């Protein structure tokens, strides 16, 4: 599949820091590409250069094989974390306001259906819930019918149900042939939505691949989780990693680990066994949680 976005040796230098240090990648058309990284990794700076907001210090960004030009802004959509909506206007009126900024674009009625806005279409935007507001912001990012859509932490602050509803919207938009560049602080979100993931740290890409590729390349073990109270005072030969009120046992041989727990008289009624996750990978590669 052809690349819609090509990045070569991208760099951003400031007087006292190199924020992005030689990043290169391609984003294939029609996929969801996620860029992940802890605070200070250079992820936000990279995305702002991709969006055309920041000029790079060196390197190049090409859209459909050509350098970014004056038409690029017309061909992309951006859902920022915080977009100022017009107060005292309804959802419908906000959509018409933003649609009027472009010569060409999407049909308003179609956007209303795609982003599921009809139930609160005539509501003042100040009275929207968090999930409703994000659906409206997504529709606004789509008003110019962009070929490439940037979603900047779109579900931050949403409750779990609203977040999952938003994921369904993103899937439906990708199914229409849109290419999506996503940044997120939720590993489950990255895993479920992404076709391709790049993990950044210290201004560089340190891992790249599909979620399944990344996990299979780095892990061949599983995680056993038990409450701290279950292992308190027990003599165990297994290495324990405490995370809050739970301990984790990382092992490539689940059966042997369970036998060791039984031999130590550890109660297993609350035992949880799970495969490795992107959260585990992120911690292993960067030494920090994504949301720190």
Cα–Cα distances in angstroms (integers) from residue 224 to residues 7, 248, 250, 281, 289, in the given order: 40, 6, 6, 16, 19
Residue 292 banded pLDDT, cuts 50, 70, 90: very low
The β-bridge relationship of strands 196-201 and 32-36 is parallel
pLDDT tops 90 at residue 120: yes
- Residue-level pLDDT at 200: 93
Tens-digit pLDDT profile for residues 6-15: 999 999 999 9
Tens-digit pLDDT profile for residues 187-204: 899 999 999 999 999 999
- Residue-level pLDDT at 87: 78
Between 155-169, 222-236, 276-290, the lowest mean confidence (pLDDT) is in: 276-290
Give the whole-angstrom CA distance, residue 144 versus residue 105: 4
- Residue-level pLDDT at 81: 76
Q: How many CB atoms lie within 10 A of CB 199?
A: 25
pLDDT tops 70 at residue 290: no
Whether 242 and 228 have beta carbons less than 8 Å apart is answered as: yes
Higher per-residue pLDDT: 289 or 245: 245
Give the whole-angstrom CA distance, residue 257 versus residue 267: 13
Tens-digit pLDDT profile for residues 21-59: 999 999 999 999 999 988 889 999 999 999 999 999 999
| Largest distance between two CA atoms of the chain | 72
Question: Which domains are present in the chain?
Answer: 32-39+73-216 (3.40.50.300), 220-275 (no CATH)
Q: Judge residue 19's burial from the number of C-beta atoms within 10 Å of its C-beta, 0-12 exposed, 13-18 middle, 19 or more buried.
A: buried
Give the whole-angstrom CA distance, residue 12 versus residue 3: 23
């Amino acid at each position: 599949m052809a690349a819609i976005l090509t990045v070569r040796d991208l760099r951003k230098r400031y007087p006292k820091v190199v924020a992005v240090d030689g990043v290169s990648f391609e984003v294939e058309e029609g996929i969801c590409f996620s860029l992940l990284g802890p605070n200070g990794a250079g992820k936000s700076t990279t995305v702002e250069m991709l969006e055309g907001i920041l000029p790079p210090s060196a390197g190049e960004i090409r859209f459909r094989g050509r350098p970014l030009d004056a038409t690029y802004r017309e061909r992309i959509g951006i859902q920022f974390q915080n977009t100022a909506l017009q107060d005292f206007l309804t959802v419908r009126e906000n959509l018409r306001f933003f649609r009027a900024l472009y010569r060409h674009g999407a049909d308003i009625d179609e956007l209303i259906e795609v982003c599921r806005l009809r139930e609160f279409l005539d509501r003042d935007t100040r009275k929207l819930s968090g999930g409703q507001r994000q659906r409206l912001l997504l529709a606004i990012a789509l008003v110019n019918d962009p070929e490439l859509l940037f979603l900047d932490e779109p579900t931050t602050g949403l409750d779990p149900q609203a977040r999952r509803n938003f994921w369904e919207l993103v899937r439906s938009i990708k199914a229409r042939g849109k290419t999506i560049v996503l940044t997120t602080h939720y590993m489950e979100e990255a895993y479920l939505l992404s076709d391709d993931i790049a993990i950044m740290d210290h201004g560089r890409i340190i891992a790249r691949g599909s979620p399944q590729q990344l996990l299979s390349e780095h892990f061949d073990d599983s995680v056993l989780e038990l409450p701290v109270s279950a292992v308190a005072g027990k003599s165990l030969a297994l290495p324990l990693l405490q995370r809050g009120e739970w301990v984790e046992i990382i092992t490539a041989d689940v059966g042997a680990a369970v036998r060791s727990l039984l031999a130590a008289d550890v109660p297993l009624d609350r035992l949880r066994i799970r495969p490795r996750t992107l959260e585990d990978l992120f911690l292993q590669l960067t030494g920090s949680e994504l949301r720190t």
